[in-house]
Structure formats: C-alpha cells, structure tokens
Chains A and B, each alone.
Chain A
Amino acid sequence: MTTMQHEFTADRQVERKRAWSNWATGMLFLLPSLLLFGVFLFYPMVRTVYLSLFLTDSQGVPIVFVGWENFLNLFQSTSFQISAKATALFVLYTVPAGIVLATALAILANQKLRGIGLFRTMFSATMGMSVAASSVIWMFLFNPSIGLFNRILAALNISGVQWLLDPQYALLSVSIATIWMNTGFAFLILLGGLQNIDQSLYESARIAGVSESCKLRKITLPMLSPTLFFVTTVSLINAFQTFGQIDLLTKGGPMESTNVIVYSIYKDAFINYNVGSASAQAVLLFVTVLVVTVLQFKIGERKVHYQ
C-alpha cells in the first residue's frame, strides 16, 4: 500500500467518524422533541383514526370494527349537521371581522405620535387575557338584567335581548366576545408587519402627491400581505379549535346553536362516553384544518406579494 492510499483510508475513517458523531449528536438533541411528538401527537392522531372505525365501550376501549359507520351516522345525524353549521358560521363571523378590526387598529397605532406606546399596549392587552377570564367578563356584559349591553339598549328605549340564551343571538354573541379576545394577538403581529415596510415607499408617494387612500391600497396592503396571510391562516385554524368560551358562556346551547366541533367532540367523548363518534369528528376536524392549511398555501403562493 502506498502512503497516498494510507492517507486516503485514514481520511475516510475520519470522515466516517465525523458523520457518525454528527448523527449521534443530532439525534441526541432531537430525541426529546421527537419522543414527545411521537407519544403526544403522532400516536394519538393515528389512534384517533383507528378509534373512529370502531364501536367502543364507555372507557374508550374498541370493541367491534364498524368501518365507516361512525362517519355515516354523523352525516345522518341532525345534531352533527347543526354542529357543522355552527362551526362554519362561527368561523365566518369571527375571522374576517377580526382581521379587519386588527388591521385597522394596527394602522392607527402605526402613526408616529407622542404617547403612541400607550395605545399599542391598550390594543394588545387582550393577548394577556385568558379565555376563561375574558369569558367571565363577557358573561357579565351579556347578563340580561344587569349587563352593560341591555342597559345601553334600555337607555335607548329598546327592549333587552337574551344574548346568550336566545338561539338566534347566542352564536353571534359568542363570536363578538371571541373577536375581542383574539384582537390582541393579530394586532401585535400586524403592527410588526407594518413596521417592516420600507419607509422610503411612503416618502416617494408623498413627493408624488398620492392620496392617503391610494397609499393604503397601493403600498400598505400589498406590502402587508405576507403578514395578513399568516394572520389569516392562524385565525382560521384557531377558530376551528374554539372551546373555552363555549364551555363557559353557553355550554353549546341553547338548542345546540353554539355546539361547535371541538365542544361537540368534548361532549361526546367525556360526557356521553361515545368515543367512536368523538373520534370520527376529530378526524373530520383534522381533515378540515389540513385542507384549509394546504389551500391557504396554494392560494398564498400565487397571490401574496413577498419582498
């Protein structure tokens, strides 16, 4: 063997040793996360799909394989149809209005004024509010006899509304409370997006004598579109996962009018002990969120302006 060959094998050995050490370190550092994702996310997801194909006992132990029956039963049940409709309406009520509100507040708070920091703090305050605390406050505001809303109506000589007890208004009332709860987070991110816009664009627009509304349409909104896109995705996914405010404000009622999907899963699994049906609904929730995310990215790729 020549010296050169010697060096070559030695090099290869060093290389192999390094690759192995890299792999070992990488895996060691990733292992805790991978393990927890495996046990508390991937396994239960697969298990949910599995359970959705079975009839289970009250403990959630699968007994008989029933195939699509849980799903077929769901599609035929009026209760599930009401729940699906409530979820869709809830998303429709909360997401667009919430984003418009947060964008408007972010544009307002992006002005360069003295004391603007105070307003930014005010607008982002709901981010520090838990769903439970917020719900209790709104429960009081909606109270038919002593709540603020009916007092205002009374002052205007309009008869009071049973906000959370009337099937006609309950979902709308919960949606209003939810919009308020979610504003802080969306506001903070959108404000960050606004602050990242290159100021020289506005400078040029000012010199060219462009109107304020034109600046908003031609500069602000297009430049903000990646952030808006992110906020929309997150808001949509959050809306599908709503639980706390329903549990505290309406318990899914009245007449199931606010029985959104996650609340329905919770009730079926932990109150009615119908784990098969709950799992089938969980699978549908998963598929919905997946479709929304994929669609968002497909549309987002085409429509969003990236710098």
Chain B
Amino acid sequence: MTLTVSGLVMVFPILYAFLISFMQGGEVLQGSLWPETFSLANYVSAFERVPLLTYLWNSLLVSVLIMAGQLILCSLAAFAFVFTEFKGREWIFYLFISTMMIPWEATMVPNFQTVQSLGWLNSYAGLTIPFFAMAFGTFLLRQQFKTIPKELYEASQIAGISKLRFFTGVVLPVAKTTITTLAIYSFLTAWNMYLWPLLVTNNEANRTVQIGLKQMQTQEIASDWGVVMAGVVMVILPTLILLFAGQKRLQEGLTQGALK
C-alpha cells in the first residue's frame, strides 16, 4: 500500500506530462487529469514551431560523441593504472582523484574563454571534447581491470603480443559489462547537460534539445502547455527507455563505484 502510493506520487509528474501532451488547450486550462481524446496535434505543432528534429539530432550526436570519448579515454587510463608500473604513477593517480574535488562550475568562465579562442563556439567540438576525460569512469574500469591476473599480461608480453592487442583482445572483452554500465551513465549525463550547451551555443543549428526546451518555455508557445509538454516528452523518452533497459546494470555499476 505504502509502496503503491509512493510509487504513484513519484511518477505522477512524469505521467502528468505525458497526459497533458495529448490534451487540447481548453482541457489543460480546466485542469483535467485525463485527455478526452489522445490527439497527436501537440506533437505536430511542437515539431513545426521549433526545429525540434535538429535539436534532437544534435543531442544524440553530442551524447554519442561524449560517450565514445569517455569510454576510450577512461579505458586507456585505467589500463595504464593497472598494467603498467612506472615512477610517478602514484602521483598521477592522486592527480586523477583531485579532479573530483574541483567543481566544474567554478571553472566555467576560463573554459568559455578557451573554447571561444579555439573557435569552438557553436561547434560539436566545443560541446563534447571538454568532457572526454573522467576520473569516476577511470576508477570504475580500473576496479574491473584489476580482476584480470597480471601474470596473463606478463605472459602475453613474453609471447610478443602487442600491448594494444592485449588491450583490445583480452581486457576490453572481460570488462564488457562495466563498460556498458559506464556507457549508459555517460549517455544519460551527456544528454541531460544544461549549463555548458547554454553557454557555448547561440544558434539553432547547434543547439541541443535541453536548450530547445528553454527556448520553448520562453517563447510565446509557453502558454500552450500541451505543445510544451509534447517537447518535454520528446526529450525524456530516449533517456527513460535507456534507464528502464539498463536500470539493474546501472544500479550495480554505480554501487560498485560508490563503495570501492
């Protein structure tokens, strides 16, 4: 009973947004909870009044690029931490830990200036590259790589197998599930980014869908709640599906990252 009530309270705002997106203007103003007919007019209108398709495409591209960048950089760094021993490695490890103590927002002004002077404003490079390195992901993968016996690495070295071969042929397959977890996490976070895209994009061609929502909310469409909610649904649908599909895996992965 408690379970059902709290479940309904938690999902109510999301459910309500879905329902409103099918309502006609009058129904929203009357405060109905259930649409009389499930009309798709608001969706058609949303796509017509803002370049929603372009925004969705931009968000998809940016999220996939960030995800790929983070996976590559994190797994390379984790490999170095686990399989190579050299002077100064400890020091670099602490450097990685220290990055988690710098709030990203505290660095946004010089970062904006850097991206501006690189000519990366309104570009996919500016939206993605600053986020490729990630300490959390590196630690998560390091934890997983550590389960591979070092003797295996040494044997492969003696057998003359190249490090890159060992990395792509042995290490990555072993860590497949952790990599998937990290991929889901990266995609979710990148898709939902707000402040940075707001700073570095100011034209419709490069804007992500989150900033598109702000645009919808500030234009005259704002009074047309059905249309705005149709926009909201288009934004949350991909991540909700991803979350539902990967929820269990995400929970296991994040707990692992939290406790070790």
Chain A positions near chain B (C-beta within 8 angstroms): 19, 22-23, 25-30, 32-37, 39-45, 47-48, 51, 60, 104-105, 108-109, 111, 113, 118-134, 136-141, 146, 148, 151, 180, 183, 188-189, 191-193, 195-196, 226-227, 230-231, 237, 240-241, 243-244, 247-248, 262, 265-266, 269-270, 275, 278-279, 282-283, 285-286, 289-290, 293
By secondary structure, the A interface counts as helix
Bound Cα distance from A266 to B73, whole angstroms: 30
Given contacts A29-B76, A32-B132, A286-B106, contact A60 B113 (CB under 8 A): yes
Complex contact A45–B84 (CB within 8 A): no
Q: Are B110 and A131 in contact (CB under 8 A)?
A: no
Nearest Cβ in chain A — how far from B49, in angstroms?
15
Question: Cβ of B228 and Cβ of A36 under 8 Å apart?
Answer: no
What distance in Å separates the Cβ of B242 from its nearest Cβ neighbour in chain A?
A: 7
Interface residues of B in 67-114 (CB under 8 A from A): 72-74, 76-77, 79-81, 84-87, 89, 92, 95-96, 99, 101-114
B194–A243 CB distance below 8 A: yes
- Which listed residue (A121, A188, A282) contacts B105, Cβ 8 A? A282
Determine how close the nearest CB of chain B comes to the CB of A144; give it in whole angstroms: 13
Q: How large is the interface on B (under 10, 10 to 19, 20 to 34, 35 or more residues)?
A: 35 or more
Measured in the bound complex, the distance between the Cα atoms of B10 and A286 in whole Å is: 33
Q: Verify B80–A286 contact, CB threshold 8 A.
A: no
Residue numbers in B under 8 Å from A247 (CB-CB): 194-195, 198, 214
State the 5 A-B residue pairs at the shortest beta-carbon distance, nearest first.
Answer: A192-B255, A128-B243, A44-B110, A130-B192, A26-B84
Say whether A131 contacts B76, CB under 8 Å: no
Contact A192 B194 (CB under 8 A): no
Please state if B10 and A105 are interface contacts (CB–CB under 8 Å): yes
Contact B105 A122, beta carbon cutoff 8 Å: no
Q: Which of B37-45, B172-180, B231-239 contacts A (4 or more CB under 8 A)?
A: B231-239
Q: Which of A41, A60, A151, A243 touches B99 (beta carbons < 8 Å)? A: A41
Asked if B10 contacts A290 (CB within 8 A), the reply is no
Q: Mark B134-157, 1 if CB is under 8 A from A, else 0.
A: 000010000000000000000000
Interchain CB contact under 8 A, A286 and B102: yes
Q: What residues of chain B lie closer than 8 Å to A51, measured between beta carbons?
A: 109-110
B250 at the A interface (CB under 8 A): yes
- The winner among B106, B213, B235 for most chain A CB atoms within 10 A is B106
- The residue of chain A having its C-beta at the shortest distance from the C-beta of B250 within the complex is A188
Residue B125 at the A interface, CB < 8 A?
Answer: no
Residues of B bordering A, CB below 8 Å: 2-3, 6-8, 10-11, 13-14, 16-17, 20, 28-29, 31, 72-74, 76-77, 79-81, 84-87, 89, 92, 95-96, 99, 101-114, 129-130, 132-133, 138, 163, 188, 191-192, 194-195, 198-199, 210-211, 213-214, 216-217, 225, 228-229, 231-232, 235-236, 239-240, 242-244, 247, 250-252, 254-255, 258-259
Cβ of A134: which chain B residues have Cβ within 8 Å of it?
13
- A140's nearest neighbour on chain B, judged by CB, is B225
Give CA–CA (A33, B102) in the complex, Å.
16
Task: Give the interface centre of B2, B76, B110, B252 by most chain A CB atoms within 10 Å.
Answer: B110
Q: Is the CB of A227 within 8 A of B240?
A: no
CA distance A180 to B17 in the complex (A): 15
A-B contacts, 14 listed (Cβ < 8 Å): A32-B132, A33-B73, A41-B102, A105-B6, A119-B7, A123-B10, A129-B192, A132-B194, A140-B20, A180-B13, A226-B258, A247-B198, A248-B214, A262-B195
User: Closest CB-CB distance, A183 to chain B, in whole Å?
Assistant: 7
**Given A45-B102, A240-B103, A244-B194, A137:B259 Cβ within 8 A:** no
Query: Complex: how many Å from CA A84 to CA B44?
Result: 44
Q: Which of A40, A139, A266, A275 contacts B130 (CB 8 A)?
A: A40
Does B86 contact A23, Cβ atoms closer than 8 Å? yes
> When the two chains form their complex, are residues B109 and A275 in contact, meaning their CB atoms are under 8 A apart?
yes
CA distance A196 to B254 in the complex (A): 13
Compute how far the CA of A90 lies from the CA of B105 in the bound complex, rounded to whole angstroms. 17
A105 to B3, CA, bound (A): 8
Q: How far is the CA of A266 from the CA of B259 in the complex (A)?
A: 34
- Would B217 and A139 count as touching, CB distance under 8 A? yes
Q: Which residues of A contact B247 (CB under 8 A)?
A: 120-121, 124, 188
Chain A residues within 8 Å of B132, by CB: 32-33, 36
A32 touching B20 by the CB < 8 A rule? no
Of A33, A247, A248, chain B has the most CB atoms within 10 Å of the CB of A33
Q: With a CB–CB cut-off of 8 A, which chain B residues contact A32?
A: 72-73, 76-77, 132-133
